[in-house]
Amino acid sequence: FALLTLAFSQFLFAVAFKWRAVTRGDDGLIVTPGSMAVPGLVTLELGQPRHFFLLEATIVLLCLWAAWRFTRTPLGTAVVLMRENDERAAFLGYNAFGTKLIAFTLATTLAAVAGALFAAFQRLVSPAVLDLAIGTEVVFMAVLGGTGAFLGPFLGAAVYIVFQDWLSKTTENWHFFLGLAFVLMILYAHDGLIGLFAKDGPARRLLSRRGAGVEETT
């Protein structure tokens, strides 16, 4: 499904690149930050980094809270069941197509909010944001952190950005090492970084074995 989404993004990239009357092609669209008044509290000048950060952090936290609340609803539980085993969920009476459609709609809504914040931060929207490299980075962040955990993609994004920044300063071939890390995660850590340190994760098992070995030697 992720690969199908990437293929569709490439189609949109080609459309955005050619449709200069709307997107202006390589030149992109300029985003001019304005101001936003919070009645009775403050007026945020979005051109100032501090004010923009406050707005962005507030929106991110609200989206995070809304997503967390959604996972606690019956529909959220159905989405989790579909992720684990859609055939069994359908056998139990859940509408597989309808549930997946709702989940995809909510996910694209959050992605649209993230895109709007990114455009306001960059102050420029160009077809480059639809490039395959950008979509691949997002998939890598999710896999790195763990797609089965609520905070997995957030952890993956943080680790990826720090790791990328450090590698790009260390070597010119940093793409190779990121790709190698991705392959290793797929082969040996299906549940991502969060899965490594889960209760029954590989890292926990390794630490428990070492602890048992130390106790035996003492």
> What mean pLDDT comes out for the span 137-152?
81
pLDDT of residue 214: 43
Mean pLDDT, range 128-147, rounded to an integer: 79
Lowest mean pLDDT among 25-34, 59-68, 170-179: 25-34
| Over residues 147-153, mean pLDDT | 80
CB atoms within 10 A of CB 26: 10
What is the predicted pLDDT for the residue at 215? 47
Angle, vertex CA 209, rays to CA 205 and CA 214, nearest 5: 150
Is the pTM higher than 0.75?
no
Task: Output 213 or 40, whichever has higher pLDDT.
Answer: 40
Distance between CA atoms of residues 104 and 110, nearest Å? 10
Percent of the chain scoring above 70 in pLDDT: 83
Task: Please determine, for residue 61, whether its predicted confidence score (pLDDT) is greater than 60.
Answer: yes
Residue 218, pLDDT > 60, answer: no
Q: In terms of C-beta density within 10 A (0-12 exposed, 13-18 middle, 19 or more buried), how is residue 65 classed?
A: exposed
What is the identity of the amino acid at 169? K
Name the burial class of residue 182, with classes exposed (0-12), middle (13-18) and buried (19+) by CB atoms within 10 angstroms of its CB: middle
What's the chain's average pLDDT? 77
Pairing label, strands 124-125, 29-30: antiparallel
DSSP state of 149: S
Structure tokens at 46: 């979005």
**What pLDDT band is residue 62 in, cutting at 50, 70 and 90?**
very high
